[in-house]
Amino acid sequence: MIPTAHIEVNKQGIIEKTVLMPGDPLRAQFIAETFLENVYKFNNVRNIYGYTGTYKGRKISVMASGMGMPSIGIYSYELYNFYNVENIIRIGSCGAYTTDLNLYDVILCTEAWSESTYAKVQSGYDSDIIAASPILNNKLEKIAKNLDIKVHKNRVHSADVFYRENADEYKQIYKEHGCTSVEMESFALFHNANVLNKKAACLLTVSDNLITHELTTSVERQEAFTNMMKIALEMAE
């Protein structure tokens, strides 16, 4: 495979049709080392680790996206457009905007709402809402049911800014746009999938709550999100 600007696959390397995408390279490494067999690392560029392996005998890849829409925008575009990837399933963390969500609850994103200009700049797309692939979401929902893991089907806020001077702004976003939680990547991922005729979905685990200020540690975040990982890994083909 010819290397792209940000992904370098070695000679024998393959990126599978379905890629799981955590934000954190250490989470990609954890998933590969804990759940995959016959695994090899295909990408090291910028420490954005990427792995291909098998899960219960079926093939899947895992690669980190980094944080934020510019970062996932680059990696997902290259995977879809240059490496023949068909499905990207983001597996990330989010902050809850409501006490209806508890730490470690799993969200299946139906749509991403964003104030970001990513989609407008990328292709002139004018709406502030982009849906996940219904085909992938149906599969993920069925898998979750089979595994007896509850998922909340919710709209998510994809934010460009983590540290806002007005820390209460989220209340308005919850009320006006119906977003139950916040992360920083789905809007760009869903947009890239749409413009390139591919599929994207996003599972999130609640890592903090903006109302109660409860939060998980980074070690917990890396290792304790097993429910979400087990759902996503069943997408291996």
Active site residues: 208
Rounded CA separation 80/13 (Å): 16
Of 136-165, binders to ligand HPA (CB under 6 A) are: 159, 162
Does 184 interact with ligand HPA (rule: CB under 6 A)?
A: yes
Cβ closest to ligand HPA, residue 8 vs residue 208: 208
Site string for ligand HPA, 74-93 (x = CB under 6 A): -------------------x
Cβ closest to ligand HPA, residue 57 vs residue 163: 163
Does 183 interact with ligand HPA (rule: CB under 6 A)?
A: yes
Rounded CA separation 75/207 (Å): 24
Q: In whole angstroms, how close is the CB of 224 to ligand HPA at the nearest point? A: 14
Q: Which of 57, 81, 66, 63 is nearest to 1 (CA)?
A: 81
Q: What is the 3-state secondary structure (H, E, C) of 93-104?
A: EEEECCCCCCCC
The residues, ordered by sequence, that sit 6+ positions from 12 with a Cβ below 8 Å of its Cβ are none
Among 74, 89, 151, 182, binds ligand HPA (CB under 6 A): 182
Say if CB 26 and CB 203 are below 8 A apart: no
Say if CB 18 and CB 237 are below 8 A apart: yes
Cβ closest to ligand HPA, residue 103 vs residue 149: 103
Chain contacts with ligand HPA (rule: CB under 6 A): 93-95, 159, 162, 182-184, 207-208
